[in-house]
């Protein structure tokens, strides 16, 4: 039972354009959401997070949007840079403390 | 400040053997969580330790176990290895393991079971 889903395994965008990565969840007990970025041979690196009491959180080029009614969140990267090329994981936290539930990941490729 | 370290980085074992992986958290972090990453299942939570006690456990068979030492270093053990245990094993640490606290991941241990 995949409670967090990233339906796009890959995404390719041009440098300077916007990258939009999507994530859906099914468990209404999730109340905190995070995005992690992962390069090959490295562990995931925390990128940005959002609490369920907000609908938007922004940090530099990265913005996360949360639509609770649709159980959907998205990560926007503007402008995209070649160094952003990595696998992006959406993750959710519920009432069970620090237990992260991850999506399957989306491979983002930013072409120069 | 040193990051989360994991040893070994790569490991090859055969079916039926057992393996022990080690994780050293960031200094001052007392919560250590373990995750398994496979191509088909993504990142899945194994268990979390805090102050030498298992505080949370995922849906993995009893062959997967762990422990945490007084210095917060953690080990996970997999007994009677199966081919499907081939995966990247990641550990993550945080100060107290409370929700919304950023977890920092190590580079992982890549286990191959032949």
Chain B: residue whose CA lies nearest to A50: B100
Beta-carbon separation of B100 and A93 below 8 A: yes
Res. A1 pLDDT band, cuts 50 70 90 = low
pLDDT the model gives residue B42: 81
Contacts of A16 (CB under 8 A, 6+ apart): A79, A80
Q: Which residues, in sequence order, are bridge partners of residue B9?
A: none
Counting residues of chain B whose pLDDT is more than 70, the rounded percentage is 99
Of the candidates A66, A60, A61, the residue with the CA atom closest to the CA atom of residue A90: A66
How does pLDDT run across B33-80, given as a tens digit for each residue?
Answer: 999 999 877 899 999 999 999 998 999 999 999 999 999 999 999 999
pLDDT the model gives residue A75: 98
Counting residues of chain B whose pLDDT is more than 90, the rounded percentage is 86
pLDDT the model gives residue B102: 87
pLDDT the model gives residue B46: 96
CB atoms within 10 A of CB A58: 12
pLDDT the model gives residue A18: 98
Q: For chain B, which residues lie within 8 Å of any Cβ of chain A, measuring from their own Cβ?
A: 4, 31, 33, 35, 42-45, 48, 55-56, 58, 90, 92, 94, 97-108
CB B73 within 8 A of CB B4: no
pLDDT the model gives residue B39: 80
pLDDT the model gives residue A61: 97
Question: Mean pLDDT, to the nearest integer, of A9-33?
Answer: 95
How does pLDDT run across A66-108, given as a tens digit for each residue?
Answer: 999 999 999 999 999 999 999 999 999 987 667 899 999 999 9
pLDDT the model gives residue B96: 86
Mean pLDDT of chain B: 94
Cα A108 from Cα A35, distance rounded (Å): 13
pLDDT the model gives residue B1: 64
pLDDT the model gives residue A98: 76
Q: Does the structure show a pLDDT above 80 at A13?
A: yes
Chain A: residue whose CA lies nearest to B58: A99
Cα A74 from Cα A79, distance rounded (Å): 15
Of the candidates B22, B14, B15, the residue with the CA atom closest to the CA atom of residue B76: B22
Res. B100 pLDDT band, cuts 50 70 90 = confident
Calculate the CA dihedral of residues B101, B108, B61, A8 and round it to 10 degrees.
Answer: 80
The A62-67 sheet, strands edge to edge: A4-5, A19-25, A72-77, A62-67, A56-59
How does pLDDT run across A44-76, given as a tens digit for each residue?
Answer: 999 999 999 999 999 999 999 999 999 999 999
Q: Is A93 on the interface with B (CB under 8 A)?
A: yes
């Amino acid at each position: 039972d995949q409670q967090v889903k990233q339906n796009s395994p890959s995404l390719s965008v041009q440098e300077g354009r916007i990258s939009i990565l999507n994530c859906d969840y099914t468990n209404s007990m999730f109340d905190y959401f995070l995005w992690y970025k992962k390069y090959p041979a490295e562990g995931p690196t925390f990128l940005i997070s959002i609490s369920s009491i907000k609908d938007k959180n922004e940090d530099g080029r990265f913005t996360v949007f949360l639509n609770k009614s649709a159980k959907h969140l998205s990560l926007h990267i503007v402008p995209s840079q070649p160094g952003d090329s990595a696998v992006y994981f959406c993750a959710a936290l519920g009432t069970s403390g620090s237990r992260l539930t991850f999506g399957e990941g989306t491979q983002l490729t930013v072409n120069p | 400040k040193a990051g989360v370290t994991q040893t070994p980085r790569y490991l090859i074992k055969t079916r039926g053997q057992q393996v022990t992986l080690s994780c050293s958290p960031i200094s001052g972090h007392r919560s250590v969580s373990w995750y398994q990453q496979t191509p088909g299942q993504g990142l899945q939570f194994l268990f979390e330790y805090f102050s030498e006690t298992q505080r949370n456990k995922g849906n993995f068979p009893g062959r997967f176990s762990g422990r945490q030492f007084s210095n917060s270093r953690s080990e996970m053990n997999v007994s009677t290895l199966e081919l499907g245990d081939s995966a990247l094993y990641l550990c993550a640490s945080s100060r107290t393991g409370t929700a919304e606290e950023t977890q920092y991941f190590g580079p992982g241990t890549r286990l191959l079971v032949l």
